[in-house]
């Protein structure tokens, strides 16, 4: 493959906030000064011309209406999603443990985890509602133990499924406000929306720019960009013939491509035959899909089928790419997993398309994109917690440390630091 | 206490990057375009008029000279620091565990931790060198398993102790470049300094602004601000008389105040007597200290002695303040620790001044300031690692998930997602 094309694929469509920055700074400053008034103005202008202040907070009446008008089957499935994702996040929580150990005689060191008390969730909305995003963020924050959870949902349309997902997770503050203005409101506060300490959730480039620019005052999960997946596959045909495997590869690439014109689905394989079969399958399956426009643009921009000499080359490509999602469709997927250094979420097994994780298996699907998987992790219980480090030092312990403090505080020119140690060990003499 | 004064104390001197933002954006853009040339220009202008490109990377010869000219005792103490902080960070590493559990039949979920491969450390320099900062950041990154660690140290002065600390931690890339230009270089890369994935380390407002503004492309530990400590004390006199306790409180407040004019040391206690004794002790000890100018300014701005009705009020104040450092000088410090929700690093025991942690006990002293302890944690092994989430789903597992995916993918309008699941379960029929 041509190196320029390979670099384009590797670079993919990373969110560039440069173009929207100026506009977003203006929005942030307006919300800082005019608060609720600014939110209402923007929402009227961009989302819903009939929007009033009384619509900002979702009321008990709205929630009742959401349950009354949404088919029971959908409510049931949202509840099942929450059950499964709660299970995953409780596994995570079980693994977050306080610890304490003695380092030397009289020196005990430890850490304890506590929740971030106030968290803000951003739930994007487009043509369709996204209850799946609402539940996964809310479950993570709730399992962490956040005391106050705020959710900003799209003011376009009714969004009943999102309201149900939020309510099922016990969220009491749901606001209808989107875009950069929602991020600014949760960061700086308005008359209606009190500020939070951390904001999590995906969004368009305006939302991402606002999250980055508000980091002076608020903690965020990560900048979000277009969705992406790598499918790492070999020609092994244990329990499956190669044509069927190509069917799965094609379906999964197309699923990634339907997210938007900037999405990326990449098959990387050491099998020329699988590559060719997959290409044919993509053409065949494409015709049966609805979001042809997005898919076509995505296929022509950031999607690719890459054939490598060895499977290890495919693994190297994957680590270098640092994909948001990684499917491993090989003879021994666990062996490959051991070699994976950078990926947001990895899918092992022939019967485990990314969509199973997006919707149902319970893992978190708010993931690092655009190479960020080489430096950060999926949203999870960890996102909504922090460590408090502590130490306990006895007189014996402090005597052990005193020579180090004295010598190095001298070099660093901090004599009051030195004296705060010395005064404790000299006191029997002096007093 | 007057509410305005209390609010001023609580607010303290949080770093405001607004004033330096414009200048910092200019520096970042210059480094992006002119790379090494920009670094040399800034360093000549601000740090060292004789600086040349050949000085940028610390050479083997520089390292040899550092060891030859630094007293053996100092080298020894730096090594002891590293031994003790390695112990703490290994304890942390032992507590970071991969996990895997079955959620339902055929659905296995797990997470594995991997290091961030390339980390950049920023070591500020002022009148004095700060080897203590160098070693604590390097030990955390090294214990995490970072493959490439870059250190930017001050180009002012020789900084031999810092070079020794870096070398003892095995750092191969030490560069003499400071300020916003160092952050820009590590983020975007120059001819000499290749970019990294994460930057950690404290700095002045220019450095902090650069870290915030570069977060589009690089991950950071946290924004850094002036140092602060709360001393939470009661009048208990087990093993100590109250006057002696006041001596310790005063010494520790003064140690915080000597960091700079914006530093904050706050005693919060339910004992009027302790408050008064501490005040007198501050006056007495002040005269014996060197950095009087900083201390005086700090005492008059952000330091305070606060007397509360009950000890629980003092705890509430502390959680609300979310201090970088917290000393607990009470009868049962562990009981209080259980009630602490927000703090960077907690010091238990009468013989455990913050300086013991700053220099020697091994805990990390790069900590959240300016209320950030309510939403983030000390730098540590965690800072330099990330989680890879994974799932393994069998055909049975996927059958369990299919109805959820089908129902909710419909609502969200993603039919290719739905098909990627259905195609795997329909295949026996179709093919």
ipTM over 0.90: yes
* Mean local confidence (pLDDT), B382-400: 98
Cα distances from A405 to residues A399, A421, B124, B126, B357, in angstroms, run 10, 8, 19, 19, 9
- Residue pair B17/B208 in contact (Cβ under 8 Å)? The answer is yes
Q: Read off the pLDDT of residues B306-332 as tens digits, 9 standing for 90 and up.
A: 999 999 999 999 999 999 999 999 999
* DSSP sequence for A153-182: E-SSS--HHHHHHHHHTT--EEEE--HHHH
- For residue B424, give the 3-state DSSP assignment: helix
| Optimal mutation site among A188, A370, A389, A409, interface B, most CBs of chain B within 10 A | A389
Q: Is A73 exposed, middle or buried (0-12, 13-18, 19+ CB in 10 A)?
A: exposed
| Optimal mutation site among A143, A416, A419, A422, interface B, most CBs of chain B within 10 A | A416
Contact (CB<8Å) A413/B289: no
Q: Which residues pair with A392 in a beta bridge?
A: A108, B348
The last residue of a domain, from among A197, A220, A243 = A220
Q: Read off the pLDDT of residues B198-253 as tens digits, 9 standing for 90 and up.
A: 999 999 999 999 999 999 899 999 998 999 999 999 999 887 899 999 999 999 99
Q: Other C-beta atoms within 10 Å of B99: how many?
A: 13
Asked if the C-beta of A67 comes within 8 angstroms of chain B's C-beta atoms, the answer is: no
Q: Which of B306, B363, B288, B416 is nearest to A100 (CA)?
A: B363
**Tell me, what's the pLDDT at A431?**
39
pLDDT at B411 over 80: yes
* Domain count for chain B: 3
Nearest chain A residue to B224 by CA: give it.
A216
Q: Domain check: are A420 and A297 in the same one?
A: no
Domain span at residue A250 reads: 226-365
Q: Read off the pLDDT of residues A308-365 as tens digits, 9 standing for 90 and up.
A: 999 999 999 999 999 999 999 999 999 999 999 999 999 999 999 999 999 999 999 9
H and E: helices and strands count for chain B: 17, 13
Please state the pTM of the whole predicted model: 0.96
Asked if the C-beta of B102 comes within 8 angstroms of chain A's C-beta atoms, the answer is: no
**Tell me, what's the pLDDT at A427?**
56
Q: Other C-beta atoms within 10 Å of A63: how many?
A: 16
- For residue B39, give the 3-state DSSP assignment: helix
Q: How confident is the model at residue B366 (pLDDT cuts 50, 70, 90)?
A: very high
Contact (CB<8Å) A291/B415: yes
Contact (CB<8Å) B244/A394: no
Q: Other C-beta atoms within 10 Å of B172: how many?
A: 12
Could you give the residue numbers annotated as active site of B? 324-325
Q: B79 contacts in A (CB within 8 Å)?
A: none
Q: Determine, yes or no, domain membership for A151.
A: yes
Q: Read off the pLDDT of residues A193-215 as tens digits, 9 standing for 90 and up.
A: 999 999 999 999 999 999 999 99
Q: Determine, yes or no, domain membership for B370.
A: no
Q: Is B68 exposed, middle or buried (0-12, 13-18, 19+ CB in 10 A)?
A: exposed
Going B224 to B225 to B231 to B232, the CA torsion angle's sign is: negative
Q: Determine, yes or no, domain membership for A232.
A: yes
Q: How confident is the model at residue B431 (pLDDT cuts 50, 70, 90)?
A: very low
Q: How confident is the model at residue B429 (pLDDT cuts 50, 70, 90)?
A: very low
The last residue of a domain, from among A193, A220, A247 = A220
Residue A84 φ then ψ, to 5°: -70, -40
**Tell me, what's the pLDDT at A126?**
77
- Residue pair A90/B101 in contact (Cβ under 8 Å)? The answer is no
- Residue A233 or residue B8, greater confidence: A233
Chain length of chain B? 431
**Tell me, what's the pLDDT at A284?**
96
Pairing of strands B173-176, B148-153: parallel
Q: Read off the pLDDT of residues B131-150 as tens digits, 9 standing for 90 and up.
A: 999 999 999 999 999 999 99
Contact (CB<8Å) B391/A103: no
**Tell me, what's the pLDDT at B165?**
98
Q: Domain check: are A89 and A195 in the same one?
A: yes
Tell me which residues of chain A have a pLDDT lower than 70. 1, 427-431
Q: Domain check: are B176 and B251 in the same one?
A: no
Q: B351 contacts in A (CB within 8 Å)?
A: 393-395, 397-398, 424
**C-alpha span between A309 and B96 (Å, rounded):** 36
**Tell me, what's the pLDDT at A430?**
45
pLDDT at B153 over 60: yes
**C-alpha span between A91 and A59 (Å, rounded):** 33
Report the phi/psi class of residue B245: left, alpha or beta, with left for phi > 0 and alpha for psi in -120 to 50: alpha
Q: Domain check: are A193 and A281 in the same one?
A: no
CATH number at residue A248: 3.40.50.1980
Segments of B29-117 assigned E as strands: 99-104, 107-115
Q: Read off the pLDDT of residues B169-185 as tens digits, 9 standing for 90 and up.
A: 999 999 999 999 999 99
Q: Is A313 exposed, middle or buried (0-12, 13-18, 19+ CB in 10 A)?
A: middle
Pairing of strands B99-104, B107-115: antiparallel
Q: Determine, yes or no, domain membership for A261.
A: yes
Contact (CB<8Å) B258/A416: yes
Q: B107 contacts in A (CB within 8 Å)?
A: 361-362
Cα distances from B289 to residues A116, A251, A415, B39, B315, in angstroms, run 39, 72, 7, 37, 31
- Residue pair A73/A80 in contact (Cβ under 8 Å)? The answer is no
Return the DSSP state at A332.
-
Q: Domain check: are A169 and A202 in the same one?
A: yes
Q: Determine, yes or no, domain membership for B12.
A: no
Q: Determine, yes or no, domain membership for A423.
A: yes
Q: Domain check: are A260 and A297 in the same one?
A: yes
**Tell me, what's the pLDDT at B6?**
87
- For residue B34, give the 3-state DSSP assignment: helix
Asked if the C-beta of A63 comes within 8 angstroms of chain B's C-beta atoms, the answer is: no
Q: Domain check: are A181 and A44 in the same one?
A: yes
The last residue of a domain, from among A220, A235, A253 = A220
Residue recorded with tokens 């913050």: B354
Q: Determine, yes or no, domain membership for A371.
A: no
**Tell me, what's the pLDDT at A179?**
97
Q: Domain check: are A274 and A416 in the same one?
A: no
Scanning B402-421 for CB atoms below 8 A from A yields 403-405, 407-409, 411-421
Q: Which of B369, B345, B88 is nearest to A389 (CA)?
A: B345
Both tokens of B76, joined, read 């020894």
Q: Which of A142, A93, A92, A303 is nearest to B389 (CA)?
A: A92
Residue A241 φ then ψ, to 5°: -90, 160
Q: B372 contacts in A (CB within 8 Å)?
A: 219
Q: Domain check: are B353 and B321 in the same one?
A: yes
Q: Determine, yes or no, domain membership for B171.
A: yes
**Tell me, what's the pLDDT at A18?**
83
Contact (CB<8Å) A391/B357: yes
Q: Domain check: are B66 and B160 in the same one?
A: yes
Residue B38 φ then ψ, to 5°: -65, -40
**Tell me, what's the pLDDT at A81?**
97
Q: Domain check: are A273 and A162 in the same one?
A: no
Cα distances from B91 to residues A340, A401, B95, B168, in angstroms, run 25, 19, 7, 20
Q: Domain check: are A267 and A185 in the same one?
A: no
**Tell me, what's the pLDDT at A429?**
42
């Amino acid at each position: 493959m041509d190196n320029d094309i390979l670099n384009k694929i590797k670079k993919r469509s990373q969110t560039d906030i440069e173009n929207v920055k100026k506009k977003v700074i203006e929005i942030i400053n307006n919300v800082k000064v005019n608060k609720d008034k600014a939110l209402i103005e923007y929402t009227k202008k961009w989302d819903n011309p009939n929007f009033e202040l009384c619509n900002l907070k979702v009321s008990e009446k709205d929630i009742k209406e959401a349950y009354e008008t949404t088919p029971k089957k959908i409510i049931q499935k949202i509840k099942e999603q929450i059950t499964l994702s709660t299970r995953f996040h409780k596994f995570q929580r079980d693994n977050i443990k306080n610890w304490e150990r003695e380092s030397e005689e009289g020196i005990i060191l430890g850490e304890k985890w506590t929740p971030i008390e106030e968290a803000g969730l951003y739930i994007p909305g487009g043509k369709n509602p996204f209850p799946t995003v609402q539940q996964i963020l809310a479950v993570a924050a709730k399992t962490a133990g956040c005391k106050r959870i705020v959710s900003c949902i799209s003011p376009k349309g009714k969004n009943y499924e999102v309201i149900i997902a939020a309510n099922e997770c016990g969220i009491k503050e749901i606001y209808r406000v989107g875009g950069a203005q929602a991020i600014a409101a949760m960061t700086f506060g308005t008359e209606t929306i009190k500020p939070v300490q951390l904001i999590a959730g995906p969004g368009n480039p305006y939302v991402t720019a606002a999250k980055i620019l508000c980091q002076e005052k608020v903690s965020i999960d990560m900048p979000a960009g277009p969705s992406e997946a790598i499918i790492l596959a070999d020609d092994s045909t244990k329990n499956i013939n190669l044509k069927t495997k190509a069917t799965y590869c094609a379906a999964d690439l197309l699923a990634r491509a339907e997210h938007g014109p900037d999405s990326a689905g990449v098959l990387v394989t050491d099998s020329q035959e699988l590559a060719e079969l997959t290409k044919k399958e993509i053409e065949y399956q494409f015709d049966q899909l609805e979001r042809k426009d997005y898919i076509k643009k995505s296929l022509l921009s950031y999607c690719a089928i890459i054939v490598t000499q060895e499977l290890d080359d495919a693994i190297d490509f994957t680590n270098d790419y640092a994909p948001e999602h990684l499917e491993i469709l090989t003879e021994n997927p666990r062996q490959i997993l051991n070699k994976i250094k950078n990926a947001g979420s990895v899918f092992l097994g022939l019967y485990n398309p990314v969509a199973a994780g997006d919707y149902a298996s319970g893992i978190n699907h708010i993931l690092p994109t655009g190479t960020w998987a080489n430096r950060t992790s999926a949203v999870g219980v960890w996102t909504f917690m922090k460590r408090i480090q502590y130490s306990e030092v006895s007189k014996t312990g402090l005597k052990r440390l005193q020579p180090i403090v004295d010598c190095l505080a001298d070099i660093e020119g901090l004599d009051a630091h030195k004296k705060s140690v010395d005064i404790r060990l000299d006191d029997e003499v002096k007093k």
